[in-house]
Structure 1
Amino acid sequence: MLTVLEPEGLYPDTGLEQQILGPGVRILQGNARASLAELPDELLAEVDGLMTLRMPVPAEQIARFPKLKVVVRMGVGYDRVDRAACAARGITVCNVPDYGTQEVAEFAVLLALSLRRGLILYHDTQRGPDPAPWAVMPSPLHRRQEVQGFGILGLGRIGSAAALRAKALGYRVVFYDPNQPNGWDRALGIQRARTMEELLAQSDVLSIHCPLTRGTRGLIGEKELRQLPRNAVVVNTARGPILDIDALERCLRDGHIAGAGLDVIPEEPPKDPIPNLLRAYRAQEDWLRGRLVITPHIAFHTPEAWDDIRLKGIETMRDVLVEGRRTNVILPESD
């Protein structure tokens, strides 16, 4: 009999999992909150398949699973799993790439639109005992959509959905993704940039949608931010380490970047010393009024998305562990 472990105890029962996996598979739930290290060796010794949502799967914990065959990361990003360690053991790593697509795409466009149309500025300045005058406040943030380029960095499922939503709102959409085949731009009715530099030069809004890999960590630093048009807006709903948050602070402070919307930051949850930009945001420093939105990695959140995580995650485990298929398999060399 095969054994699948869901170590975080995410759900009140395992009825759905048992129904999908079938009677030949045993489902175990753990009660760990932060680390697999919280679980005993005798439990991990029985496990053939591991399901994780928030929990990292580092090499030293993989070594504690003598029978492990499949790891399913219950989400799109797979940077929390040490794929090199898994590959060395012949362990298959999968993700769930087709959940939360609409939610994250909508949230990315919402962040850009709320900054560009002044929603955040007027919200911030009308609060408190000393609100701003009841009048228009000139700001370099505010632009009509039709005069802006909306740059998509990474045109996967979420990037494509964001591109279509931005296009529907009137933005001129351009993307850069060297992994997408020719013709993808024509299929979506958007423009392809041949290089990163070409994308940045046209992006009055830059929306980040690429996965976090060795090649994309730190991809957007100060050099890249300063290649954006002056008064651009930067949105990140992908992974925090793709964007240099200290470089973003410098570009916001000197006015080259007009605003930013971040659903992700380099370390989540933040720990001391927290980034200077987050410190200034929490202190509500005047120079950031209306220019920055930070949310706690919740762009995906709807009840429907949570249902998809559970269903599609366990379906992926069934396909790969029980039926031997290659559903949603992430290859070690895909970095």
Structure 2
Amino acid sequence: MALTVLEPEGLYPDTSVEDAVLKGGARILRGNAKSSMSELPDAMLAEADAIMTLRCPVRAEDIARAPKLKLVVRMGVGYDRVDREACAARGITVCNTPDYGTMEVAEFAVLLAMSLRRGLTLYHDTQRGSSPAPWAVMRHPVVRRQEVQTFGLLGCGRIGTAAGLRAKALGYRVVFHDPFQPNGWERALGFERVRTLDELLAQSDVLSIHAPLTRATRGLVGERELRLLPKNAVVVNTARGPILDLDALAKLLKEGHIAGAGLDVIPVEPPVEPLPELLRAYRAREDWVLGRVIVTPHIAFHSPEAWEDIRRLSVETVRDVLLEGKRSNVIPPESE
């Protein structure tokens, strides 16, 4: 079966990995789309049996331009960039690559928490100001010992599990909430499990978000939920920006209920004007965010090894599904 695989973003300099995995049995089309498949010619989409996409959304209008399309592989864990409803209507399979970048994102989540909780960002920000802070200890509620804290995982899949194991090794008590994991998951990991989100929030000195973005999780952590956290908690999000309400987070940071936040993801990426208050204050280096907020540009996954993994694993998924009839990493249409 001859396949045509479209890589709309042209992320890699050649097709050597694709050719090796597919054993030369597919033609690889490489585009140069930056933000949208509308930048690609109709002829390119018309030939595609499969699409492998990292950042380019696959929307209903893109799917309509691809009459031969059978498979969309999201080169990453989250699949919110793919219109699964439009794919389901056409019988197009949607897959992700959940086993790439696990270590990188998990380590980054714990790094964000540690950088805040041990005062790294606090001293870094205040010592380089126009009027540096005194060369001395700063007593600040963001700084605490790991061993007296609970690290709460909102989601305990591959990345959440890896983050929890790292946090546990550093001395945190680890608790998670994940209704999709089977009974007994906690015993295998040595974590504690709670049945509800509210129970998780009430005891999380660090809340680390590791859930996919779905209809059920969009806006899941808002002002009500943040107020359930213990006073001076830290919030970390390396999952998807729209899960966490940035305006509510800013409000509780200003009030002093939340001590700090580490964000690798935000609701709109890249940010556009008018900026949310938290991002505006962060860029302006306003006093109320100094040492308390870290923002990075959705790069928690990055390492040279992760880029190699995401390419190989995505092509292997194309091979498994279209050439070998397997169900590797398939996202069910009804999964919300």
TM range (shorter): over 0.9
The aligned residue for residue 201 of structure 2 is 200
**Unmatched runs of 5 consecutive residues or more in structure 2:** none
Q: Which residue does 1:212 correspond to in 2?
A: 213
Match of 2:129 in 1: 128
Q: Which residue of 1 aligns with 2:291?
A: 290
Match of 1:277 in 2: 278
Aligned equivalent of 2:256: 255
State the one-letter code of the partner of 1:110. L
Secondary structure of the equivalent of 2:6? strand
Partner residue, 1:183: 184
Aligned length: 335
Residue 151 of structure 2 is matched in structure 1 by 150
Tell me which residue corresponds to 1:174. Answer: 175
Q: CA deviation at 1:194?
A: 1.3
In the alignment, what sits opposite 1:82?
Answer: 83
Q: Which residue of 2 aligns with 1:316?
A: 317
Q: Percent identity of the aligned residues?
A: 75
Name the stretch that deviates more: 20-29 or 161-170.
20-29
CA offsets 1:37-88 (integer angstroms, 9 cap, x no match): 0111112111101010010011111110000000000000000000000000
The CA distance in 2 between the partners of 1:247 and 1:146, in whole Å, is 28
Contact 2:152–2:207 at 8 Å: present in 1 too?
yes
1:25 aligns with 2:26: yes
| Corresponding residue number in structure 1 for 2:115 | 114
Give secondary structure in 2 for the equivalent of 1:122. helix
Q: Which residue of 1 aligns with 2:59?
A: 58
2:122 alignment partner, SS class: helix
Distance 1:63 1:48 in 2: 13
* Deviation for aligned residue 1:112: 0.5
Deviations 1:108-153 (A, max 9, x none): 0010011011000000011034210000111011111111111000
- Rounded to whole Å, the distance in 1 between the matches of 2:138 and 2:20 is 58
Partner Cα separation in structure 2 for residue 85 and residue 232 of structure 1: 40
- Runs of 4+ off more than 3 Å: none
What amino acid sits opposite 1:39 in the alignment? Answer: L
Contact 2:150 2:175 in 1 (8 A): yes
Shift of 1:22: 2.1
- In 1, the alpha carbon distance for the partners of 2:180 and 2:125 equals 40
Alpha-carbon separation, structure 2, partners of 1:158 and 1:148: 20
Instruction: Compute the TM-score of the two structures, normalised by the length of structure 2.
Output: 0.99
Distance 1:163 1:2 in 2: 41
> Where does residue 36 of structure 2 map in the other structure?
35
Instruction: Report the CA distance between 1:179 and its aligned residue.
Output: 0.6
Matched, 1:223 2:218: no
Q: Distance in 1 between matches of 2:333 and 2:275?
A: 32
Q: What is the one-letter code of the residue matched to 1:132?
A: A
Unaligned runs of 5+ in 1: none
- Maintained 8 Å contact 2:19/2:25: no
Tell me, yes or no, if structure 1 residue 68 matches structure 2 residue 65.
no
Asked whether 1:93 is paired with 2:94, we answer yes
Equivalent AA in structure 2 for residue 238 of structure 1: A
Whole-Å separation in 2 of the counterparts to 1:23 and 1:254: 60
Q: Deviations over 1:185-218 (max 9, x none)?
A: 1100010011111100110000000000000000
What is the DSSP-based 3-state SS (H/G/I as helix, E as strand, rest coil) of the residue aligned with 1:106? helix
Stretch of structure 1 that moved more, 131-140 or 34-43: 34-43
* Separation in structure 1 between the aligned mates of residue 181 and residue 275 of structure 2, nearest angstrom: 36
Provide the TM-score with structure 1 as the length reference: 0.99
Give the Cα–Cα distance (whole angstroms) in 2 for the partners of residues 130 and 280 of structure 1: 18
Superposition CA RMSD, Å: 0.7
Letter of the structure 2 residue corresponding to residue 155 of structure 1 = C
User: 1:24 offset after TM fit, Å?
Assistant: 2.5
Distance 2:194 2:144 in 1: 23
The offset of 1:333, in angstroms, is 1.1
Q: Which amino acid aligns with 1:189?
A: G
- In structure 2, distance between residues paired with 1:166 and 1:133: 31
* Structure 2 CA distance for aligned equivalents of residues 180 and 293 of structure 1: 30
* Preserved contact between residue 265 and residue 297 of structure 2 (Cα < 8 Å): yes
1:265 aligned onto 2:266: yes
